[in-house]
Amino acid sequence: MQEKGTISIHTENIFPIIKKFLYSDHEIFLRELVSNAVDATQKVKRLASLGEYTGDLGETRVEVSVNKKKKTITISDAGIGMTAEEIKKYINQIAFSGATEFVEKFKDAGDAKEIIGKFGLGFYSAFMVAGKVEIDSLSYQEGAEPAKWICDGSTEFEITEGKRKTRGTTITLHVNDDSEEFLEDFRIQQILDKYAKFLPIEVKFGEKDEQVEDGTDKEGKPKYKTVKKDNIINNTDPIWTKSPADLTDEDYLNFYKELYPFSEDPLFWIHLNVDYPFELTGILYFPKLKNDFEMQKNKIQLYSRQVFITDEVKDVVPEFLMLLHGIIDSPDIPLNVSRSYLQSDGNVKKINSYITKKVADKLGELFKKERESYESKWDDIGLFVKYGMISEEKFYDKAKDFALVKNVDGKCFTIEEYEKHIEANQTDKDKNKIWLYASNPAKQDSFISAAKDKGYDVLVLDSPIDSHFVNHMEQQLKTTQVKRVDADNLNKLIDKDEKPELVLNDEQKESLKGVFEKAIDSKTYTVNVDGLSPNDAPVTVTMPEFMRRMKEMQATGGGGGFNMFGAMPDNYEVTVNGNHPLADKILKADAEEAQGGLAKQAFDLALLSQGLLEGKDLTDFIKRSTEILGK
């Protein structure tokens, strides 16, 4: 048997086109060829189980080998194999039946992931690294003859009698000069570790050294020797393919360690398993979240029938769920089309909604059944839950029942519980409930103490997205306002229309204001004299709540059209308590210098309480304070 021919395509030579478009991601050739070998092996096992193949199955692993001397990579399987006619049909005709459409559709494509696998081109990815490719195959069918196909990357091919004596297919790649990196064992190992780690058929790549016990020494301690063992790349039976009923917590934790060897144990996990209206399996883990968003992302791996595809899942998984870790496996996600198609694909949207619902249901169940345990984990999962509430309306609808807020004393409340908790004491004259919060309890301690003295409750909101969360909650709750405890005087933060009357007359008020303006001498600060309780601080320095919040939102990304606030200079309001004894002392001071000294000292104390006193101003304050103590 010998036949030569031309691959029938109605365009110019397609191989340079493949090389050009797939060049940026050419390691994928090995994923495609090994996946094809696994498919062929699974097919013969299926035929055997149906009684349509009665021969001896034998060893059904896929073997990958490299011959550096001959400059070849070989992928061999014991699958269904092909006859000469099948090779012509599947390799020559089907692969290029859509070639014209391929060229038209993808001539401007820049992403290899848009192309691989379309129009039967998976096999032809071999030509990204090989100048010549050989197929040697023997079909499982009784009486079949082995067949060999050779192609040198042009449209010419040759079919002759093959040499295989056993069922299956061997593909040999004659690696071209600019792809010799793939003749290095470590490079092949690296690619197989990435793409073949959980394939359902054993994949062998050479041998590895292993230490085994070899008797004992004179002291009775075990001795070891090095033996060669088959280097099996993959775990063929990963736990996401099993029933949750057959798994223990230890199984889930061990698998997490397999995926993320250097990570802390996760808090809990969700086992996904659905077969209608789409097929999806997987396990999503809740990691202990740190306050660095970017460090957490891109930890979910996407598979299709146990073949690794990508860890860039933002078009399949809602963005807030990208803080989770784990595996999603679905043959129903279109893997080789553009992102815009992915975003509008019906299955992807359903999968997206399903995962969001499963995550919300899991959190809701934990909250109801194990509230104490849930509260103990809140510091780790709060960031994730808040992110979801801000970014996903459907998630917010469920999460509002299990999202928590925690006060400075460590007590947790649901949103509804907290609204009731503060209603009596923290409702202002306009019937708005006021949430007070600290973003840095250690630095804002004096303000927290003042609030507690008035019987007010103060929350801790100190995560990177809390400025966005606060904004979102105000929109959702309508008659609730959220204010930082050091944003203004308490009487203004919770305005109950009970402001003490200012004891100073207009002349004294203006005089006091002038003393402070001269002592501060900066356009960054706007001075006001107000009537507050004599027990309140003599001077407070605050940034207007709106501006501070917008600057914080801009700093953590987002803020919509408010990004301009990041570039604006800081502006602070200085409130002088005209009813404090210090106001009277300043006005009665004999000399202008003495007045200015007292005002500057009081202002610097206010800056110090806000963490705003630094550099030379801090040094001068310390010197001045030391001198006062020495008098």
Q: For 356-369, what is each residue's pLDDT tens digit? A: 889 999 999 999 99
C-alpha to C-alpha distance for 169 and 60, rounded to whole angstroms: 12
Q: Tokens for 223?
A: 């001795």
Q: How far is CA 377 from the centre of its chain?
A: 19
What H or E segment, with its residue span, contains residue 136? Answer: strand 130-138
Residue type, 300: I
298 Cβ contact list (under 8 Å, min separation 6): 311, 312, 313, 322
Q: Say whether the peptide bond before residue 464 is cis (omega within 30 degrees of 0).
A: no
- Give pLDDT tens digits for 187-237: 999 999 999 999 999 999 999 988 888 888 888 888 888 889 999 999 999
Q: Of 148-162, 191-205, 536-550, which gets the smallest average pLDDT?
A: 536-550
Q: For 514-557, list the strands marked E by DSSP.
A: 525-530, 539-542
Q: In this structure, are residues 355 and 373 in contact, taking their beta carbons and an 8 Å threshold? A: no
Q: Tokens for 433?
A: 């409930």
203 Cβ contact list (under 8 Å, min separation 6): 34, 38, 61, 62, 63, 64, 192, 196, 232, 233, 234
Q: Tokens for 514?
A: 């002038």
**Angle separating helix axes 592-609 and 581-588, nearest 10 degrees:** 150
C-alpha to C-alpha distance for 408 and 426, rounded to whole angstroms: 16
Considering only residues 555 and 619, tell me which one the structure prediction assigns the higher pLDDT: 619
622 Cβ contact list (under 8 Å, min separation 6): none
Q: Tokens for 83?
A: 């006859």
Integer distance in angstroms from the first to the last C-alpha of the chain?
113
Query: What confidence tier does 346 reach under pLDDT thresholds 50, 70, 90?
Result: low
Q: In this structure, are residues 152 and 131 in contact, taking their beta carbons and an 8 Å threshold? A: yes
Residue 291's pLDDT is: 57
597, 612, 468: which is closest to 520 by C-alpha? Answer: 597
Could you tell me the strand order of the sheet in which 458-460 lies?
Answer: 458-460, 433-438, 480-484
C-alpha to C-alpha distance for 436 and 451, rounded to whole angstroms: 9
Query: What confidence tier does 323 reach under pLDDT thresholds 50, 70, 90?
Result: confident
Considering only residues 383 and 107, tell me which one the structure prediction assigns the higher pLDDT: 383
Query: What confidence tier does 296 reach under pLDDT thresholds 50, 70, 90?
Result: low
C-alpha to C-alpha distance for 217 and 66, rounded to whole angstroms: 39
C-alpha to C-alpha distance for 361 and 397, rounded to whole angstroms: 12
Q: Rounded mean pLDDT of 412-433?
A: 93
What H or E segment, with its residue span, contains residue 339? Answer: helix 339-344
What H or E segment, with its residue span, contains residue 280? Answer: strand 280-286
> In the predicted model, what is the mean pLDDT of the chain?
83
The fraction of the chain above a pLDDT of 90, given in percent, is 41
Q: In this structure, are residues 62 and 77 in contact, taking their beta carbons and an 8 Å threshold? A: yes
- Give pLDDT tens digits for 453-494: 889 999 999 887 888 888 899 899 889 999 998 888 788 888
What H or E segment, with its residue span, contains residue 39? Answer: helix 28-49
Q: Cα–Cα–Cα angle for 17, 19, 23, nearest 5°?
A: 130
The fraction of the chain above a pLDDT of 70, given in percent, is 84
Q: Rounded mean pLDDT of 238-250?
A: 93
Q: In this structure, are residues 516 and 583 in contact, taking their beta carbons and an 8 Å threshold? A: no
Q: In this structure, are residues 331 and 279 in contact, taking their beta carbons and an 8 Å threshold? A: yes
Cβ-based neighbour number of residue 344 at 10 Å = 10
Q: In this structure, are residues 333 and 301 in contact, taking their beta carbons and an 8 Å threshold? A: no
Query: What are the residues facing 270 on neighbouring strands?
Result: 284
C-alpha to C-alpha distance for 365 and 478, rounded to whole angstroms: 28
What H or E segment, with its residue span, contains residue 406? Answer: strand 404-406
Cβ-based neighbour number of residue 523 at 10 Å = 8
130 Cβ contact list (under 8 Å, min separation 6): 73, 153, 173, 174, 175, 176, 179
C-alpha to C-alpha distance for 342 and 453, rounded to whole angstroms: 56
Q: For 471-582, list the strands marked E by DSSP.
A: 480-484, 525-530, 539-542, 572-577
- The alpha-helical segments, DSSP class H, found in 165-275 are 185-195, 249-259
Q: In this structure, are residues 150 and 157 in contact, taking their beta carbons and an 8 Å threshold? A: yes
C-alpha to C-alpha distance for 552 and 559, rounded to whole angstroms: 9
Residue 562's pLDDT is: 44
Q: Is 593 exposed, middle or buried (0-12, 13-18, 19+ CB in 10 A)?
A: exposed
